[in-house]
Amino acid sequence: MIFVTVGTHHDPFDRLLGALGALGALGDDLVVQYGPGSPPPGVEHAKAFMPFDEMLSNFEAADVVVTHAGVGSILCARREGHVPLVVPRQHALGEHVDDHQAELTRALERRGGVIAVWDTAKLADAVASAPPRGSALTVGDPAMCAAVGAALRGDPAPQPSPA
């Protein structure tokens, strides 16, 4: 099952929702929390908003998670062993009030915490090649906590040591 969440921000996230049609070819069940916009066409299991326990159940049941770059959504996905595919909302596209989601995505991607999907035309390919569940650090893992803290502070990503 593929779980997609756009969070609770008041602006619709049509760019991500419009890309979901390409996921039908993958043959997986698709569960979508689509926010204040219109439900994505052709998605059987879609709700504007879900209670938190239902969200957690979907993170747990999912084989792949696609999410906006909300910290809570990323942490919930990682807690269940996912390396989430993150489509950050972008200020220039009218999707958010600033670019904090893009900044967080870049920082976590450098540390291997998420897979950024900047071009939604490539979403289906990203889903098809998503790493297996269980390859993510858990939320309680000290390395994950340090990575999120560093990303939120804007610290530069550590550089690999020369071999």
Question: What would the two tokens of residue 79 be?
Answer: 């807690």
Token code pair at residue 34:
């689509």
The predicted pLDDT at position 154 comes to: 66
The CA-based dihedral angle spanning residues 67, 38, 89, 18, taken in that order and rounded to the nearest 10 degrees: 80
- Flag whether pLDDT at 83 surpasses 50: yes
Q: How confident is the model at residue 160 (pLDDT cuts 50, 70, 90)?
A: very low
In this model, does residue 77 exceed pLDDT 70?
Answer: yes
Residue with tokens 């890309």: 19
> What pLDDT, on the 0 to 100 scale, is given for residue 98?
75
pLDDT at 134: 82
Q: How far apart are the first and last CA of the chain?
A: 40
Query: What number of other Cβ atoms are within 10 A of residue 63's Cβ?
Result: 14
Q: What is the pTM of this model?
A: 0.81
Q: 99 pLDDT band (50/70/90 cuts)?
A: confident
Which tens digit of pLDDT belongs to each residue from 21-73? 988 767 669 999 999 988 998 888 999 999 999 999 999 999 999 999 999 99
Q: Give the pLDDT of residue 156.
A: 62
d(CA 114, CA 117): 9
Whether 139 shows a pLDDT value over 60: the answer reads no
